[in-house]
């Protein structure tokens, strides 16, 4: 059987949750499946860890041939894999937008695989009869205020594309980002043979909004990189990475998009209270991730509370440096207002860091009782959580111990095996 996978997100330079999910799922499918053949569809040549699926780890500094792109006689990009059953097809597209609906649909029309797997919520308009997609969450339906609702930037084709979108969707949707995601996800749910989602919470959200065909939904939990995220005893190694990003002393760590949905504004307010209450403390707040919707408001709050010197915003950091930052943290905080899963929770627990997290359903589902839970809507609750977890060593050790037990239930290998089972059963 030939399985096609949309690898365009996995191939992005600055990956976040959905992109890491795509990346690691591809790498582990290559390790657990010797029977099927795979075509990785991409909008530009694959690079890095997607070029060599045999290696356990793959970082730029480890290989002088990193990003060396080769093609076979049929113009497929060569991908090294444990069983030699992976190759890539670069589908060039002259436009910045709509590669999935345009170029991938064209490929499905001309030469479709037996099964198409889309590790996100946007199935191409034209697709094989057997198609499987992952809907990670429905935040854009249930928490719309946390999402960017700007118009899609068509530039000179704005009026034409706006007309086309309204015509295509029978005037139900407009040409803005939120509307497009909403339409694409509903189309995906209706047309995919199987829907994977990443938590029972997300499954319940999907059932609540889409109601029909609920039997085709399968929950498969995300994983984490067990070889990378571990306890590090080498203090010098931790300090070297901290110094690389200008971090000194003790700090609270957050990893994820710096955006409204992640509730960073309330976190800033809570941390400002901590700084005022403990003026003698040199505790820092380190925010790791790319800027998202609401970033300007976050920066304004930091300045307004006069804690510029106490907050470090590193931007996106390569994954190979994250374990040291987790290990060096006093606590890891995840105050999100809405999630489908929350991969950084697993990474933190694997590194032996006590976790302070929102008491929202998906977080509780993942961490169980291995984290101190706070009300994300209350800056006071977040402040009190920080205060308790920073100062109570016995409680810290309790959550660290429980965290090690929780992460035994999650792995990318398990995620890939369960996904492969669903693909084979289509």
Which CATH number goes with the domain that contains 359? 3.40.50.2000
For strand 86-90 and strand 77-78, is the pairing parallel, antiparallel, or unpaired?
antiparallel
Let me know whether 399 and 273 are in one domain. Answer: yes
Calpha distance 220→222 (Å, rounded): 7
In a domain, 209, yes or no: yes
* 160: confidence class by pLDDT, cuts 50, 70, 90: very low
Is the pLDDT reported for residue 364 higher than 50? yes
Let me know whether 243 and 348 are in one domain. Answer: yes
**Per-residue pLDDT reduced to its tens digit, 49-60:** 899 999 876 555
pLDDT at 167 (0 to 100): 54
For strand 77-78 and strand 194-197, is the pairing parallel, antiparallel, or unpaired?
unpaired
Let me know whether 149 and 188 are in one domain. Answer: yes
Calpha distance 78→62 (Å, rounded): 20
What is each CA distance from 267 to 63, 369, 384, 409, in whole angstroms?
40, 22, 12, 29
pLDDT at 182 (0 to 100): 87
Let me know whether 162 and 62 are in one domain. Answer: yes
pLDDT at 55 (0 to 100): 82
The domain of 15 spans 2-223+412-424
β-partners of residue 77 are: 71, 88
Let me know whether 205 and 91 are in one domain. Answer: yes
How large is the average pLDDT for residues 264-268? Answer: 96
How large is the average pLDDT for residues 277-304? Answer: 92
Give me the sign of the Cα torsion angle 410, 420, 6, 85: positive
In a domain, 228, yes or no: no
**Sequence-separated (6 or more) residues with CB below 8 Å from residue 324:** 232, 237, 238, 240, 241, 242
pLDDT at 61 (0 to 100): 47
Calpha distance 365→354 (Å, rounded): 17
In a domain, 230, yes or no: no
Let me know whether 178 and 246 are in one domain. Answer: no
Let me know whether 256 and 338 are in one domain. Answer: yes
Number of domains in the chain: 2
pLDDT at 270 (0 to 100): 97
Is the pLDDT reported for residue 65 higher than 90? no
Q: 406 with 342: CB under 8 angstroms?
A: no
Start-to-end Cα distance in the chain:
11
**Per-residue pLDDT reduced to its tens digit, 399-418:** 999 999 999 999 999 999 99
**Per-residue pLDDT reduced to its tens digit, 68-92:** 789 999 999 999 999 999 999 999 9
- Report which DSSP code applies to 189: H
Q: 360 with 339: CB under 8 angstroms?
A: yes
pLDDT at 153 (0 to 100): 52
Question: Among candidates 94, 87, 90, 120, which has minimal Cα distance to 15?
Answer: 120
pLDDT at 354 (0 to 100): 98
pLDDT at 148 (0 to 100): 63
- Residue-averaged pLDDT of the chain: 90
Is the pLDDT reported for residue 143 higher than 80? no
Let me know whether 401 and 416 are in one domain. Answer: no
pLDDT at 62 (0 to 100): 47
Give me the numbers of helices (H) and strands (E) for the chain, helices first please. Answer: 16, 14
């Amino acid at each position: 059987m030939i399985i096609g996978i949309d690898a365009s997100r996995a191939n992005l330079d600055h990956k976040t949750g959905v992109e890491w999910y795509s990346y690691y799922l591809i790498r582990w499918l290559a390790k657990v499946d010797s029977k099927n053949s795979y075509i990785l569809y991409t909008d530009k040549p694959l690079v890095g860890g997607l070029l060599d699926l045999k290696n356990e780890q793959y970082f730029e500094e480890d290989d002088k041939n990193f990003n060396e792109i080769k093609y076979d006689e049929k113009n497929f990009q060569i991908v090294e894999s444990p069983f030699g059953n992976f190759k890539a097809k670069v589908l060039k597209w002259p436009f910045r937008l709509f590669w999935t609906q345009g170029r991938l649909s064209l490929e499905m029309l001309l030469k479709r695989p037996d099964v198409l797997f889309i590790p996100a919520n946007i199935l191409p308009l034209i697709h094989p009869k057997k198609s499987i997609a992952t809907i990670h969450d429905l935040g854009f339906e249930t928490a719309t205020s946390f999402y960017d609702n700007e118009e899609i930037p068509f530039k000179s084709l704005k009026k034409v594309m706006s007309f086309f979108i309204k015509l295509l969707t029978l005037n139900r949707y407009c040409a803005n980002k939120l509307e497009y995601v909403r339409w694409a996800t509903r189309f995906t749910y209706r047309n995919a043979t199987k829907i994977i989602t990443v938590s029972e919470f997300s499954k319940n959200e999907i059932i609540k909004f889409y109601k029909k065909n609920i039997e085709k939904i399968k929950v498969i939990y995300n994983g984490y990189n067990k070889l990378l995220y571990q306890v590090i005893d080498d203090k010098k190694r931790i300090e070297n990475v901290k110094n690389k990003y200008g971090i000194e002393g003790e700090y609270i760590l957050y990893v994820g998009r710096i955006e409204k949905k992640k509730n960073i504004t309330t976190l800033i307010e809570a941390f400002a209270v901590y700084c005022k209450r403990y003026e003698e403390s040199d505790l820092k707040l380190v925010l790791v991730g790319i800027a998202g919707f609401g970033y300007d408001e976050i920066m304004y709050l930091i300045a307004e509370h006069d804690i510029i010197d106490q907050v470090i915003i590193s931007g996106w950091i390569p994954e190979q440096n994250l374990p040291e930052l987790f290990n060096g943290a006093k606590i890891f905080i995840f105050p999100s207002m809405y999630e489908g899963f929350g991969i950084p929770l697993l990474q933190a627990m694997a590194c032996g860091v006590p976790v302070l997290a929102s008491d929202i359903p998906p977080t509780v589902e993942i961490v169980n009782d291995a984290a101190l839970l706070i009300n994300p809507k209350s800056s006071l609750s977040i402040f009190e959580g920080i205060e308790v977890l920073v100062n109570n060593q016995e409680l810290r050790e309790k959550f660290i111990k429980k965290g090690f037990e929780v992460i035994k239930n999650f792995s990318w290998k398990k995620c890939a095996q369960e996904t492969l089972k669903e693909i084979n059963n289509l």
